[in-house]
A and B are shown apart, each in its own frame.
Chain A
Amino acid sequence: MSAPLTDVELARIRADFPALDQKVHGKPLVYLDSAASTQKPRVVIDAVSRLYAEDYANVHRGVYQLAERATRAYEAGREAVRRLLNAADAREVVLLRGTTEAINLVAQSWGRAHVGPGDEILITAMEHHSNIVPWQLLCAERGAKLVVAPIDDDGALVLDELERRVGPRTKLVAATHVSNALGTVNPVRRIVEIAHAAGARVLIDGAQAVARLPVDVQALGCDFYALSGHKLYGPSGIGALWGRAELLEAMPPWQGGGEMIETVTFERSTWARIPHKFEAGTPHIAGGAGLAAAIGYLESIGIERIGAHEDALLAYATEAVRSVPGLRLVGTAPGKVGVLGFVIDGVHPHDAGTILDRAGVAVRAGHHCAQPVMQRFGVPATVRASFGVYNTREDVDALVRGLHGVVELFS
């Protein structure tokens, strides 16, 4: 168990994030929406800026020095993702726009090749829309069936029920590592064991996990792992799919274009090797440089310590909101991380969000792109406060003060 951050470290970290140093509606910004997207440290902003100011050219093709520098800066993002996930080989890391694109790639490339009529894709009831809709599209196209493993009243996956739903027709189990709406951490290794025993592949949505939990794809044993740069303090528009080399090599290309080919004639084309086979077109070059800087920043603090800091903050916040009359937590699974979701009797989350905003407190109010989760808990929406490496107990105190104001107004 790592030690949480000291006050001195935390103050230094906060100073790394220029966006935190501002007022909104005349109040100091309290940013509690890192589950939607994280703020960016100076090193990331500088890396993106430096790429454009000093090292910009197209990648993977120029013979001149500038192009080599740009390629090196971009490819550093790939290598950083490999380290972050402890992948065996950087060729297994496909750089894409983000988690959503990564999941769509697997659905459209691997899915079309391996899923047929009557086959099943198994997901969980806590998935983000981006890990539901790509499979619905695939199932509709292939005549396959989407099967859902339930969650319990705390928002934890019911593993026995998942196991019951895995059968000979199950081609893939797609599950989130950490729920964005509930904070639940799924038992990925058990899911992988169950799926692999039935011959199914496993895709893990790591968008909410990678900035707070150490991830080792070799130890987890999954087949695909998807992540987004913007949720780990990096730029938006860059993310990655990790896939086992032998799977990626066997998969057909997804999008055609430059970069992904080996040779092109009007009769036929041949494909580049992985990962470039899946990287048609000029990529988000500065995004790759920013992603490398963001992962370097996480490593410099230590992901275990960031996780420990957020756990301590979540425990403090969970206790502190108990003073708010009529507040009910949504998502109480043991070991949950990063987010505090709740509803308040007689107050719609949107109204709470507006009132908190005027107090400088930025939270998410809505369905968090997880409408089935809201339906499961019988609420139209929740308020979600979510934490990042830069949040403090004072941020939580401001949230709780704001919530008392909300309740007072509506009483």
Chain B
Amino acid sequence: MSSELRELYQSVILDHYKKPRNYGRPPGADRAAEGVNPLCGDHVHVYARVEDERLAEVGFEGSGCAISTAAASLMTQAVKGRTTDEVRALFDRYHELVTGRGDVDPESLGKLAVLAGVREFPARVKCATLAWHALRAALEGAAEPVTTE
């Protein structure tokens, strides 16, 4: 098996796929959005409770591949407690990480750095960003499901 595959499917990712964290709608969630990848049928709902511009609670539900599920799970951990502005900025840097564009230092992204392997698999960038797109839509109060298309 290639080293790229080993990096993509490293143990942290498989662990979050098999045991997703913050799964479900947190109590008192006041923001929600749905993300859909029409090409593959991946589907995610992201929920948040925002207090004083800060994400007090974040959760997700849905069905998807290992990359999209682990990315959603890791996202919920990474954004909890951050302000909405910080979350937007984090998404920008995370996007650079998984697309291989820009010169973001993976170390600066904490545990999200495990998703750096996605950059070798352009077809899977949408999987790694679906939940993030949904979260951003939730914070912006979008009424329509967001899609990766």
Are A and B co-members of a single complex? Answer: yes
| Residue ranges of A at the interface with B (Cβ–Cβ < 8 Å) | 25, 346-351, 354-355, 358, 365-367, 371, 374, 380-381, 405, 409-410
Q: Does chain A have a CB within 8 A of B124?
A: yes
Residue B4 interfacial (CB < 8 Å): yes
Known: A354-B121, A358-B4. A348 touches B65 (CB 8 A): yes
User: Closest residue to B43 on the A side, CB-wise?
Assistant: A380
CB-based contact A358/B41 at 8 Å:
no
A405 and B6 CA atoms in complex are apart in Å by: 11
Q: How far is the CA of A358 from the CA of B121 in the complex (A)?
A: 10
Whether B41 lies near A374 (C-beta < 8 A) is yes
CA distance A380 to B39 in the complex (A): 11
Candidate in B5, B9, B64, B127 with the most chain A CB atoms within 10 angstroms: B5
Report 15 cross-chain contacts, Cβ distance below 8 Å, ordered by A residue: A346-B18, A347-B66, A348-B66, A350-B67, A351-B66, A355-B1, A355-B5, A358-B4, A358-B5, A367-B41, A374-B41, A380-B41, A380-B42, A409-B1, A409-B5
Name the contact of A25 in the complex, choosing from B2, B40, B43, B69 (C-beta under 8 A).
B2
Known: A374-B41, A380-B42. A348 touches B121 (CB 8 A): no
Tell whether B71 is near chain A: CB-to-CB under 8 Å: no
Does B143 count as interface, using CB distance less than 8 angstroms? Answer: no
Within 8 A of A (CB), among B1-49: 1-2, 4-5, 8-9, 14, 18, 39-43
- State how many angstroms separate the Cβ of A361 from the closest Cβ of chain B: 13
Instruction: Give Cα A351 to B8, complex, Å.
Output: 10
B40 touches A381 (CB 8 A): yes
Say whether A405 contacts B1, CB under 8 Å.
yes
A351→B65 contact, CB < 8 A = yes
9 further contact pairs, Cβ within 8 A, besides A348-B64, A351-B9, A381-B41: A348-B66, A358-B1, A367-B40, A380-B42, A380-B43, A409-B1, A409-B5, A409-B14, A410-B14
Q: Which residues of B contact A (CB under 8 A)?
A: 1-2, 4-5, 8-9, 14, 18, 39-43, 63-67, 69, 121, 123-124, 127
User: How many angstroms between the C-alpha atoms of A25 and B1 in the bound complex?
Assistant: 11
Interfacial chain B residues near A381, Cβ < 8 Å: 40-41
| Contact A366 B41, beta carbon cutoff 8 Å | yes
> For the complex, what is the distance from the CA of A366 to the CA of B40, rounded to whole Å?
5
Tell me the bound Cα distance from A346 to B5 in angstroms.
18
For the complex, give the distance between the alpha carbons of A301 and B43 in Å: 44
Main secondary structure of the interface of A (DSSP, over half): helix
Task: State A349–B41 Cα separation when bound (angstroms).
Answer: 11
- Bound state CA distance, A315 and B123, in angstroms? 32
CA distance A311 to B105 in the complex (A): 53
Q: Within the assembled complex, what's the spacing in Å between the Cα atoms of A371 and B39?
A: 11
Whether A351 pairs with B41 at a CB distance below 8 angstroms is no
Residues of B within 8 Å of A371, CB to CB, are 41
Nearest-CB distance from B35 to chain A (Å)? 14
Q: Given A405-B1, A409-B1, A409-B9, does the pair A351, B67 have CB atoms closer than 8 Å?
A: yes
- B4 lies within 8 A of A350 (CB): no
B residues within 8 A CB of A409?
Answer: 1, 5, 9, 14
Residues of B contacting A365 in the complex (Cβ-Cβ under 8 angstroms):
40
**What A residues does B8 contact at CB under 8 A?**
354
Return chain A residues, CB-CB under 8 Å to B65.
Answer: 348-351
Contact B40 A350, beta carbon cutoff 8 Å: yes
Which residues of B are found within 8 Å of A410, using beta-carbon distances? Answer: 9, 14, 66
Q: What chain B residues lie within 8 Å of A351 (beta carbons)?
A: 9, 65-67
CB contact under 8 A between A366 and B39, given known A350-B65, A351-B66, A354-B121? yes
Instruction: Report the minimum CB–CB distance from A387 to chain B (whole Å).
Output: 23
Of chain A, the residue at the smallest CB distance from B2 is A358
Q: Contacting A350 at CB < 8 Å: which of B14, B43, B127?
A: B127
Residue of A with least CB distance to B69: A348
Tell which of A366, A367, A380, A405 has the most Cβ of chain B within 10 Å: A380
Across the interface, name the chain A residue whose C-beta is closest to B4: A358
Please name all residues of chain A whose beta carbon is closer than 8 Å to the beta carbon of B123 when the two chains form the complex.
354
Contacts of A405 in B (CB 8 A): 1
Which single residue of chain A is at the shortest CB-CB distance from B123? A354
A89 to chain B, nearest CB (A): 41
Q: Looking at the assembled complex, report how far the CB atom of A86 sits from the nearest CB atom of chain B, in whole angstroms.
A: 38
Chain A residue numbers with a CB within 8 Å of B40 are: 350, 365-367, 381
Closest to B127 in A: A350
Give the distance to chain B from A204, nearest Cβ to Cβ, in Å: 27
Nearest residue (CB) in B for A366 is B40
